[in-house]
Amino acid sequence: MMATANGQDAVTVGYLALDPTEIGAIIRRCLPEGWRLELFRSGDAVKDYSRISYLVVAGSQLTAEDIAGAPLLRLVHKVGVGYDDMDLDALRARGIALAVCPVGSDEAVAEHALALALASLKCIPELDRGVRDDRGWPKWEVRGRLRLLRGRRIGIVGYGRIGRLTAELFSAFGCDVLVFTRTRPAGPAPAGVRFAASLDELFGECSIVSMHVPLSEETRGMVRRRHLDLLGPDGLFVNTARGQVVVEAELAAALRERTLGAAAVDVLTEEPPPKDLELLDLPNLIVTPHIGGGGLDVFERKVGFIVRNIENFHAGKGAAELILGADGRAEARCS
């Protein structure tokens, strides 16, 4: 490390993203005096991590090769809460810590799940296209397919922070909530919330199901055609978790054959998707580009948390929301 004018070691932080410019400006503004920031685009074939002590990562994969090229790296900090795109074995082998950032994401993703459900029930994209693109006024053609949200039974798969917030939002709209989780919390369920014994029970009893589980070997492909068919031709499947938690080809088939009424997703198995992905041709699908984590107002909060967390770690005070500690062991996350 180089020394700064005040005699302290200069610290270089890296930010890796598809387009790091906008959020990079926020990070640069929040860094302590004398700390430097280097920006990296995930699409670039060559990235020089040789000066990086702390790496902030948004929506990008970090490979064993990347980690090997960062000899000074001490901590990787995700901008969100997912870390299935991190090479955990390579981080463990080097004793590099990994932290996530739940700040802001929980509320933003929960709101996005609700927004997707409302957009589908109210046919918002179709109505917008009909007026603006077709210069029509499709009031009566679509009216018969509009649906109320109030009074519906909503299935929530996963009951961590995002799942709980999503349940609260749907409850506020007058919905009954049924939850499936493998780690049921202790104590009585909140008013209006019940727990399902199985995924089949949840899909069979609900008209809308919203996914809120992390991607793991246990959750990969957990939603199959039989579950989607249980939702039925009036059902709606919402996914703001990870594309891989549902078998995408089976989702496409259920939508195409109308055994599932509609789907609204913020995530796909491959992102960005291939141009010939059949799913994107289906009219009963709404899709957004994995943007549920929020906008600049959310990222201002996120960056504040991340920079404070890195400063604490650098000062030897430890870091919050660790997935891996510096000893390579899995950590219990603190909220």
Q: What is the pLDDT, as a whole number, of residue 327?
A: 78
152, 227, 242, 314: the catalytic one is 242
Q: Is pLDDT above 80 for 8? A: no
Q: Which CATH architecture has domain 107-287?
A: 3-Layer(aba) Sandwich (3.40)
Q: What sign for the dihedral angle of Cα 322, 324, 327, 330?
A: positive
Q: How far is Cα 252 from Cα 224, in angstroms, rounded to an integer?
A: 11
Active-site residue, selected from the candidate residues 22, 141, 257, 271: 271
Round to whole Å and give the CA distance between 145 and 131: 17
Could you tell me the pLDDT band of residue 83, with boundaries at 50, 70 and 90?
Answer: very high
The Cβ of residue 221 has, within 10 Å, a number of other Cβ atoms equal to 13
Q: Report the CATH superfamily, name and number, of domain 12-104+295-324.
A: NAD(P)-binding Rossmann-like Domain (3.40.50.720)
- pLDDT tens sequence across 98-153: 999 989 889 999 999 999 999 999 999 999 999 999 999 999 999 999 999 999 99
Give the end-to-end CA distance of the chain in Å, rounded to a whole number.
33
Q: Whole-model pTM?
A: 0.88
Higher pLDDT, 276 or 2: 276
**Number of alpha carbons in the 13 Å side-chain half-sphere of residue 272:** 6
pLDDT tier, 240 (very low <50, low <70, confident <90, very high otherwise):
very high
What percent of the chain clears pLDDT 90, i.e. is strictly above it? 87
Query: In degrees rounded to 5, what are phi and psi of residue 8?
Result: -85, 155
- Annotation marks residue 212 as catalytic: no
Using only C-alpha atoms, what is the Rg of the chain?
Answer: 22
Could you tell me what percent of the chain has a pLDDT over 70?
95
Assigned token pair, 278: 């059949």
Task: Out of 77, 152, 290, 314, pick the active-site residue.
Answer: 290
Q: Which residues of 151-182 are buried (b: 16+ CB within 10 A; e: fewer)?
A: ebbbbbbbbbbbbbbbbebbbeeebbbbbbbe
Label the pairing between strands 36-41 and 12-17: parallel
- Confirm whether 112 is a catalytic residue: no
Residue with the two structure tokens 């209006």:
192
Domain layout of the chain by residue ranges? 12-104+295-324, 107-287
Please answer whether residues 102 and 81 qualify as being in contact, where contact means their C-beta atoms are separated by less than 8 angstroms.
Answer: yes
pLDDT at 334: 40
Which tens digits make up the pLDDT trace of 282-300?
A: 999 999 999 999 899 999 9
Tell me the mean pLDDT in the region 252-258. Answer: 98
Q: Is the dihedral of CA 272, 274, 278, 280 positive or negative?
A: positive
Q: Are 234 and 261 in contact (CB under 8 A)?
A: yes
Residue 169 and residue 111 in contact, taking contact as beta carbons nearer than 8 Å: yes
pLDDT at 219 over 70: yes
pLDDT reported for residue 192:
84
At residue 331, does pLDDT exceed 80?
Answer: no
